[in-house]
A and B are shown apart, each in its own frame.
Chain A
């Protein structure tokens, strides 16, 4: 998020570039470009490798250079992947989309309501609750997987859709972000005006505050979506029925069988490549809300 912010703020101050010495400017700009170029390469090369490898047949994969095309076999590979084991890969993708999509949507709603309440209402124990939530930010999700497993075991609810879905709804970081953002971007005067006009608290939240909080909500949604999509340890511990697996766990399971069934290796690679596409779509389609939101904030 900060990366998209920085160029904007410098661009709005043109007088600075005039006063800076041209030589120094060139050097620092070159250095910045090099650093950015190197890190771009660093992040993109593995994805490039993944894409290239997805297009290769099994025999080409081992015997041709890793970073350039051999015979283009992408669609044949995808067809094999989708047909393998009764199309279980598609099932995994669907599961991931449901876990991450529905989980992030509901999780964002809860986080927004909670953060908004903490920011805008005064009630005893408010700071205590907020501090506990903050503490929750510090506890990694991985550390909670095992306790969650034991709790769900008490209710005979392991190996169910809910055992992965329910814990995904909780986002302490989202609550934190929503509170900070609500405090800064939702003016009390506006809420009072809404109340005077006869809107109830719930209606005020959904029709006034929610709109003002949109950039934060998009951020929370994306964070939560990615977190659930990549969450691996919880499903690993909870699930045993492969029809419930998210795509991460499914691919890991396949990858651990490569020694036994070497053919699976191709499926793991194409499967991994296809599994990042929804994340890319989510980012590309939602990032314009960030820009809009940031602009709206700056006017105020």
Chain B
């Protein structure tokens, strides 16, 4: 009696486990260019669904809905991509009820491409023609350099620059660093003053990728058939060695980013600079309110004096997901949302998004000085950075795994064992293993 009872329970458990794994397995793994959909306008009134976690996006979409009574877009929301929305997209793609449009960050797009979750909208009217409107690197992110392919419309970017405490640098008589060598020298001087030049975050591996991006390095390449993983490329190693020296010399603080402790380090003036993206402007003003008027923004330090290279941290696209019955209308909406001046202005004022179009960089909302930064016109610096970002950087299909493996290594370095180079090497090995495990062709 008791035996049959427990057997039954085991059987139930196994059944549940099978159901789970059955659903979780990815579907396709091809990287060849998929045929573009037949993109003709639908008859009559069209209702589209659009899932995005941008706060206030519904107000922007309302503008579209008022102007386009025949193409009505319903906003759906959820947590940020890695917080659950990507997982939901994949579940919905499996179940065949994904929204027509979805917000996908650039570093997650390859995963959706590899799992065949995106619709190729290249043949939809105005899509390929819009190529020149967008900043070069963003267009490469949504086409994967495939012929006749466009899988998403770039939405926003995170060009990087250096935020620094103007008042502290002046008071200590330290020149504002323009090269990484000067930055390291300043780091030592600031340490003598009792502060830290900046903080090295364990978990923001995509921030570190932005620095590698600036150094002309790449972490992934795809030749159309196979993926190449190059976390240990010379450029990547150069950046790792540089920060390794700063960490080893106790020249950077090591608090976990985005915590109260971290906010406090900036609010009390113990950390002097932050190499960060354009959206970081808001993080400082809200995290370090006592320092209003004391900050300024300068271009990122350069590896060679006189260069103007910049990196990028963050940004997302609007993708038409697989199975949408109205790719034409969806594509038109995505184009409007991400190129129209009114939409871009609304996205910027509602959600602090920084446009991915060339014209968007000169929007009136971005032309004014910002009070927190002593009325400096900080967006001019970021506009230059956006145009100086290397167009050829490619993300891999398993970024979540890569981030977490590299972050584990970074954590050990901050704890005092190993080097950043070791962390990248581990990340390299584990990423290749993960790609192989997912049956994605990869060069070893």
> In the complex the two chains form, what is the Cα distance from A149 to B97 in whole Å?
11
Given A132-B8, A146-B23 in contact, is the A240-B283 Cβ separation under 8 Å?
no
Interface size on B, residues (CB 8 A): 46
Interface window among A1-9, A257-265, A287-295: A257-265
Given A253-B53, A253-B77 in contact, is the A139-B352 Cβ separation under 8 Å?
no
Q: Is A159 an interface residue (CB 8 A)?
A: yes
> In the complex the two chains form, what is the Cα distance from A242 to B53 in whole Å?
10
Q: Is the CB of B55 within 8 A of A153?
A: no
Residue in A closest to B94 when the chains form the complex, CB atoms: A150
> In the complex the two chains form, what is the Cα distance from A158 to B51 in whole Å?
14
Q: Tell me which residues across on chain A come within 8 A of B80, comparing CB atoms.
A: 256-257, 260
A to B contact number (C-beta, < 8 Å): 116
Beta-carbon contacts under 8 Å, A50-83 to B: 58-59, 61-63, 66
- Contact mask for chain B residues 271-300; partner A; CB cutoff 8 A; 1 contact, 0 none: 000000001001100110110000000000
Partner of B91, one of A62, A138, A149, A264: A149
Partner of B79, one of A61, A156, A252: A252
Q: Tell me which residues across on chain B come within 8 A of A31, comparing CB atoms.
A: none
Q: Is the CB of A240 within 8 A of B99?
A: yes
Q: Tell me which residues across on chain B come within 8 A of A147, comparing CB atoms.
A: 16, 19-20, 23
Partner of B351, one of A136, A138, A240, A260: A260
Q: Is A183 an interface residue (CB 8 A)?
A: no
Interface window among B210-218, B234-242, B258-266, B304-312: B258-266
Partner of A58, one of B92, B264, B289: B289
Q: Is the CB of B13 within 8 A of A158?
A: no
Beta-carbon contacts under 8 Å, A87-142 to B: 131-132, 134-136, 138-139
Q: Tell me which residues across on chain A come within 8 A of B289, comparing CB atoms.
A: 58-59, 62
Q: Tell me which residues across on chain A come within 8 A of B54, comparing CB atoms.
A: 260
Q: Is B83 an interface residue (CB 8 A)?
A: yes
Q: Is B95 an interface residue (CB 8 A)?
A: yes
- Contact mask for chain A residues 130-174; partner B; CB cutoff 8 A; 1 contact, 0 none: 011011101100011011011001001011000000000000000
For B51, B80, B268, which residue has the most chain A Cβ atoms within 10 angstroms?
A: B80
Given A62-B264, A135-B9, A150-B95 in contact, is the A262-B286 Cβ separation under 8 Å?
yes
Q: Tell me which residues across on chain B come within 8 A of A242, comparing CB atoms.
A: 76-77
Q: Is the CB of B260 within 8 A of A62?
A: yes
> In the complex the two chains form, what is the Cα distance from A147 to B23 in whole Å?
8
Q: Tell me which residues across on chain A come within 8 A of B126, comparing CB atoms.
A: none
A interface bracket (residues with beta carbon within 8 Å of B): 35 or more
> In the complex the two chains form, what is the Cα distance from A131 to B5 in whole Å?
7
Q: Is B28 an interface residue (CB 8 A)?
A: no
Q: Is A85 an interface residue (CB 8 A)?
A: yes
Q: Is the CB of B19 within 8 A of A138?
A: no
> In the complex the two chains form, what is the Cα distance from A136 to B12 in whole Å?
8
Residue in A closest to B84 when the chains form the complex, CB atoms: A236
Dominant SS at the B interface? helix
Q: Tell me which residues across on chain A come within 8 A of B369, comparing CB atoms.
A: none
Q: Tell me which residues across on chain B come within 8 A of A261, comparing CB atoms.
A: 55, 282, 351-352
Q: Is B149 an interface residue (CB 8 A)?
A: no
Residue in B closest to A59 when the chains form the complex, CB atoms: B289
Q: Is B88 an interface residue (CB 8 A)?
A: yes
> In the complex the two chains form, what is the Cα distance from A138 to B23 in whole Å?
21
Beta-carbon contacts under 8 Å, B55-103 to A: 55-56, 76-80, 83-84, 88, 91-92, 94-97, 99
Q: Tell me which residues across on chain B come within 8 A of A263, comparing CB atoms.
A: 286
Residue in B closest to A238 when the chains form the complex, CB atoms: B88
User: B261 to nearest A CB, angstroms?
Assistant: 9
> In the complex the two chains form, what is the Cα distance from A159 to B74 in whole Å?
13
> In the complex the two chains form, what is the Cα distance from A241 to B77 in whole Å?
6
Residues of chain A at the chain B interface (Cβ within 8 Å):
58-59, 61-63, 66, 85, 131-132, 134-136, 138-139, 143-144, 146-147, 149-150, 153, 156, 158-159, 236-237, 239-242, 249, 252-253, 255-264
* A-B contacts, 27 listed (Cβ < 8 Å): A58-B289, A59-B289, A62-B267, A62-B287, A138-B13, A139-B12, A144-B16, A146-B20, A146-B23, A149-B91, A150-B91, A159-B76, A236-B78, A236-B79, A236-B84, A236-B88, A237-B91, A240-B77, A240-B88, A241-B76, A252-B79, A253-B53, A253-B78, A253-B83, A256-B83, A259-B258, A262-B283
Task: Known A-B contacts: A240-B99, A262-B286. Give 8 more (CB < 8 A).
Answer: A62-B267, A63-B264, A143-B20, A147-B19, A149-B95, A158-B95, A253-B77, A263-B286
Q: Which 10 A-B pairs have the closest CB atoms?
A: A262-B286, A240-B76, A153-B95, A256-B83, A256-B80, A256-B79, A59-B289, A135-B12, A135-B9, A62-B263
